[in-house]
Structures are given as structure tokens and as C-alpha cells.
Structure 1
Amino acid sequence: AREREAEAERTREREDEARRAAEAEIAREREREAEEAREREAQARRAAEAQRRAREREAEAERTREREDEARRAAEAESSA
């Protein structure tokens, strides 16, 4: 009886160890997934910021073209007057 009880205890210990190992692996996998999600979010933020800066540069270039066109028209009007 004592031998059976000792074997049952060893079995419980092995099962507990296996369960703890599985739980630890699950926790590591969840952390990997969370880290990947954080990286994807960071990449999306960087991409959005790059797009915003590109739109700002294009808008500034358009304003510059408009100012240059206006200055050219004013100069042409002045020279023809």
C-alpha cells in the first residue's frame, strides 16, 4: 500500500510538473503574441506618421508652387503694364 501511495505521489508530481511546464509555455506564447501585436501597432503608427509627413510636404510644395505662380503672374502683369 505504501509503495502504491508513493507511486501515486510521484505520478501527481510528474503531472503537476507537466502542467506547470504547459502553463509556462502558454504564458511565453501569449507574451510572444503580445509583443508581436505591439510591434505591429508600432509599425502602423510609424507608417501613419510617415504618410502624414508626406502629405504635409506635398501640401507645402503645393503652397510654394502657388506662391511662385502668383509671383510670376504679378511679374508678368507688371512687365506688360
Structure 2
Amino acid sequence: MPDPLRVAIVLPRHMRFSRHGATSIDLVAHDLLLFSRHRASSVVMAEWVDEPFDDVAVVPFARWPFEPHAVLGWRLGRRVA
């Protein structure tokens, strides 16, 4: 049996992946993962918030000031590898 597909949804900056103040992008990412057949092996990577959605796997990150996108991508990739 092949390994399950691993999916990481990386949200852009200034999103609020939470029930309080979620944008349309947050809600679409939440629903995509919530109803995905690969839900067990998938995560959402979003900027840290006080109360993230608790029904899907979330990997919170804090963005460093003046951090290049390539460095942020490398840091996030290491967290889910």
C-alpha cells in the first residue's frame, strides 16, 4: 500500500486561522482540510493566533521581521518533513 498523501496548506501573512476573525481564505483552507480524505496526514500552516481552529491539524509559526520568503519557506518545510 502506498504512503498516504501528505498535504500542507500554507496560508499567506495576516490571515487569522481562527473562529474569531477568519477571512474567506482561512475558511476555504479550513473546509478543504476538514472534508479531505487526506485529513489525517495534512496540516495547515498559519501565523500564530490565540485560538486556532481545533478540528484540523495546525502548525503555527511566528514570522520574523524582515525575513525573506525563501527562509520562511525553508523553516516551514523543516517543521512538516
Relative to its length, the structure with more strand (as a share) is 2
Identify the structure with bigger relative contact order (alpha carbons < 8 Å, sequence gap 6+): 2
- Shared fold (TM-score, shorter chain, > 0.5): no
Q: Which structure: larger Rg?
A: 1
**TM-score, reference length from structure 2:** 0.19
Question: Counting helix residues as a fraction of each chain, which structure ranks higher?
Answer: 1
